[in-house]
Chain A
Amino acid sequence: MMEENDNIGTPQEPPKKHNKFVQYFINLGARIKGWFVDKYTAVKDFFCGLFHKKTEEEKALEYSGPQLSRGEKFRRGLKSQSGWLFVAPALVLMAVFTFYPIIAAFVNSFKQSYSGMTGKFNGWGIDNFVRVLKGDTGTGGADFVQCLVNTLILTFISVPLSTLLALLISVALNSIKRVQKAYQTILFLPYLTNALAMGAVFATFFKIIGTQNNTETVGLVNIVLGWFGVDPIDWVGLRSPHWQIGSLSIPWAKYVVTIIYEVWSGLPFKILILFSAMQSINKQYYDAAKVDGASRWTVLWHITAPMIMPQISYLLVTGIMGGMKQYSAIVGLFGVTMGQDYDMGTMVGYLYNYIELGQTGYAFAGSLILFVIIMIITYFNNKITKKRTTYR
């Protein structure tokens, strides 16, 4: 639509056809630009209007009431633009803590051998990106591809899983009549607990703690597994089982622990959202379904789930966003080394790791790549949820 408008009055150039993906970012850019232009014009108008000496004609045109004093004019001007006063503090804070760092990260990621201490660097280039992607940082730090794979696998298993579980639990909760409130409270408790503390407790559940009288003392999980004749598995420790694909390690046992943890800690919020969404569904839909002989299963998948699809996709989107940024749970479970040789590293963990190592250039480059990946995921998120969220 914008293109059509732009073409009016100018020599007709065939509008460029971009593929949808590119077009999405072009539109996004146009929207962002439009936003700034809008604000700029508004600010300009406000200040120009304040100091501009109007001609008699303009005055007559504009305001036919009694003459206004300069103070009154200022007050009116402020009033008409008072929205700005309210957002100003937030804008300032965002400029300092959001916009500036984004731009700085962008710029700095192209400085080669950048030193965060001295600010010195060795020319511009994409050296940081190449080294990050190749895993050739020469510092013994985390490996980017490993961190990326970990993050993606953990996110795309645990988020759908916990959303599905939350859905089922909410349905169950919704059909309970009596102690609903009590269950609700219990289910919500993990939400109020600190991730590091929970991670540490989880790790203890899964740990092999040590050897005593030639038998291993093991955590709760291994004790339970032992009842079924399963030998203790070192879920979180040094001997944790893993698969190796080239230089990539798939520490599946640690994945299991992390996913269980993520699912469990993600449940309360999701249940809260889905449960309250369910409560607002008109009871008549269920009555109608009952008369029409729908089974519980049909009711769940053909009525309840579609009706709360906006909430479900909200949870998936925010869950995936959160998953891409997971870090503290990993530290809680596996310590600051994020497993053995960073084999449980995540993307954010990668950034911290290189900041800590003083290699800020890699951290900047990594963060930029993370940014792009999140953009891509957001794009598909938007695509999919737009289709699914509204039943209209």
Chain B
Amino acid sequence: MRISIQHLTKVFPSRTKGGKAVHAVEDMNIEIPSGQLVGLLGPSGCGKSTTLFMLSGLETATSGKILFDDQDVTTLAAEKRGVGLVFQNYALYPHMTVQQNIRFPLDNMRINREEGNARALDAARLVQIEDLMARKPHELSGGQQQRVAIARALVKMPNVLLLDEPLSNLDARLRLQTREEIKRIQRTTGITTVFVTHDQEEAMSICDIMVVMKLGVVQQIGAPQHIYDDPNNLFVANFLGTPPINIFKGKIQGGKAYIGEEAVGDAPYGDREVYVGIRPEGFIYNPQGALTLNVDHIEVMGRDKSVVSTHESSTKPTVRSIIDSDVALPEGAEQLKFDIKPYKLFLFDAETEERLR
């Protein structure tokens, strides 16, 4: 199922008299090709869940349109859209067994018991919980509950699968495992899937298409790697990547980008104040390098080492540069000099915070 989101807007009236209305989603436009896994990424409160609920039909859009293939579903009731929804805290019915939970959507479709059970079992197999069918939700671990919720969403063979922060209630290990699982399930079923998360690593690792949002406004849409390598603005650059990008206050003068008095790269743009963003992997150690950093300490972690240093123009307390662990660094040096890989350096207008390119 192809999804087309056109000028979608959601305004919540203010809860108090005379308060300000909340613009949860503002003029959103996304085209999602059939069978893709799309990640909605953004900090908490940026309107991801609201978008998802509008797709599911639980929230009505204030304006704009949602098309499934060529059908306008903007005002269609939730149960008629054929979507499967997985809630952040799963919303499994505590008094029903796993099987009853999974079968619930089928029961509502008046599918007979035998077929219902068979399909519930299929869905359970897909998420590998077929041995837990007789249990109640409270007898399951978080990860298992999560799978039940996914099975329940999948069992009716939805056109669209919607997942609201499906991994946020899992511990770190399980989260890693489960996100692979979600990817696998999505590949197997080929269902167009929209997936909400505030964890950029999660989104980066499993999405085909990533949508970065901030305060209800879409910032950038594209393949995760592409967005990482070519961010539209300071917010996106800052939001993606672990460890995060280093940001310096700087300026452009005569076609060169400066951090302090040191020129770190070419900048064929007019003179102005800028933010200079350098990805941690963008540093090359060179005793005659362009940028001088005051070393705080060095962390060695297997393949690479991390130089943690300070710089007076940095907007963050520390600057982190990651270099290959074979690169020999002078023992106990207080300052180190680095060259900057041009494609790992981004310039943002200090005022608009938009990328200069």
Chain A interface (Cβ within 8 Å of chain B)? 282, 284-285, 287-295, 298, 302-303, 306-307, 309, 391-392
Interface residues of B in 46-66 (CB under 8 A from A): 53, 56-58
Chain A positions within 8 Å of B57 at CB level: 291
Interface residues of B in 141-165 (CB under 8 A from A): 152, 156
Interface residues of B in 82-119 (CB under 8 A from A): 83-85, 87, 89, 91, 93-96, 104-105, 107-109
State how many angstroms separate the Cβ of A391 from the closest Cβ of chain B.
Answer: 3
Determine which residue in A289, A293, A294, A391 has the highest number of CB atoms from chain B within 10 A of its CB, and name it: A293
Report the bound CA distance from A186 to B104 in whole Å: 37
Q: Is the CB of B156 within 8 A of A292?
A: yes
- Nearest A residue to B53, CB-CB: A287
**Is B78 an interface residue when CB atoms closer than 8 A count as contact?**
yes
Chain B positions within 8 Å of A288 at CB level: 85, 87, 91
State how many angstroms separate the Cβ of B228 from the closest Cβ of chain A.
Answer: 33
Report the bound CA distance from A332 to B53 in whole Å: 55
Chain A positions within 8 Å of B184 at CB level: none
Q: Is the CB of B79 within 8 A of A290?
A: yes
State how many angstroms separate the Cβ of B143 from the closest Cβ of chain A.
Answer: 19
Q: Is the CB of B109 within 8 A of A287?
A: no
Report the bound CA distance from A182 to B108 in whole Å: 35
Chain B positions within 8 Å of A295 at CB level: 108
Chain B positions within 8 Å of A392 at CB level: 94, 136, 138
Q: Is the CB of A290 within 8 A of B78?
A: yes
State how many angstroms separate the Cβ of A244 from the closest Cβ of chain B.
Answer: 46
Chain B interface (Cβ within 8 Å of chain A)? 53, 56-58, 78-79, 83-85, 87, 89, 91, 93-96, 104-105, 107-109, 136, 138, 152, 156
Given known pairs A290-B78, A291-B78, A298-B108, the reply for A307 and B95 (CB within 8 Å) is yes
Q: Is the CB of B91 within 8 A of A285?
A: yes
Given known pairs A284-B87, A391-B136, A392-B136, the reply for A291 and B58 (CB within 8 Å) is yes
Report the bound CA distance from A294 to B110 in whole Å: 10
Q: Is the CB of A292 within 8 A of B104?
A: yes
A293 partner, pick from B53, B79, B87, B94, beta carbons under 8 A: B79
Nearest 3 interchain pairs by C-beta: A391-B95, A293-B79, A292-B105
Q: Give 13 A-B contacts (CB < 8 Å), ordered by A residue.
A: A287-B53, A287-B85, A287-B87, A291-B58, A292-B108, A293-B79, A293-B105, A294-B108, A295-B108, A302-B93, A306-B95, A307-B95, A309-B95
Report the bound CA distance from A309 to B85 in whole Å: 27
Report the bound CA distance from A383 to B152 in whole Å: 33
Given known pairs A284-B87, A392-B138, the reply for A290 and B58 (CB within 8 Å) is yes
State how many angstroms separate the Cβ of A255 from the closest Cβ of chain B.
Answer: 35
Report the bound CA distance from A293 to B105 in whole Å: 7
State how many angstroms separate the Cβ of B297 from the closest Cβ of chain A.
Answer: 46
Q: Is the CB of A287 within 8 A of B93?
A: no
Chain A positions within 8 Å of B136 at CB level: 391-392
B85 partner, pick from A291, A298, A306, A307, beta carbons under 8 A: A291
Chain B positions within 8 Å of A293 at CB level: 79, 105, 108-109
Q: Is the CB of B94 within 8 A of A391?
A: yes
Q: Is the CB of A282 within 8 A of B79?
A: no
In the complex, given contacts A292-B156, A293-B109, A302-B93, what are 14 additional A-B residue pairs having Cβ atoms less than 8 angstroms apart? A287-B53, A287-B58, A287-B85, A287-B91, A290-B58, A291-B83, A291-B85, A292-B108, A293-B79, A294-B108, A295-B108, A298-B107, A302-B104, A392-B138
Q: Is the CB of B108 within 8 A of A285?
A: no
- Nearest A residue to B81, CB-CB: A291
- Nearest B residue to A299, CB-CB: B108
Chain B positions within 8 Å of A284 at CB level: 87, 89, 91
Report the bound CA distance from A293 to B136 in whole Å: 22
Chain A positions within 8 Å of B83 at CB level: 291
Given known pairs A290-B78, A291-B57, A292-B79, the reply for A285 and B138 (CB within 8 Å) is no
State how many angstroms separate the Cβ of A309 from the closest Cβ of chain B.
Answer: 7
Report the bound CA distance from A217 to B57 in whole Å: 59
Report the bound CA distance from A285 to B78 in whole Å: 14
- Nearest B residue to A287, CB-CB: B58
Chain A positions within 8 Å of B58 at CB level: 287, 290-291
State how many angstroms separate the Cβ of B135 from the closest Cβ of chain A.
Answer: 11
Report the bound CA distance from A391 to B95 in whole Å: 5
- Nearest A residue to B158, CB-CB: A291
Chain A positions within 8 Å of B87 at CB level: 284, 287-288
Report the bound CA distance from A289 to B314 in whole Å: 51
Report the bound CA distance from A288 to B83 in whole Å: 11
- Nearest B residue to A388, CB-CB: B95
State how many angstroms separate the Cβ of B104 from the closest Cβ of chain A.
Answer: 6
State how many angstroms separate the Cβ of A164 from the closest Cβ of chain B.
Answer: 19
Report the bound CA distance from A291 to B53 in whole Å: 10
Chain A positions within 8 Å of B84 at CB level: 291
Q: Is the CB of B152 within 8 A of A292?
A: yes
Report the bound CA distance from A309 to B83 in whole Å: 30
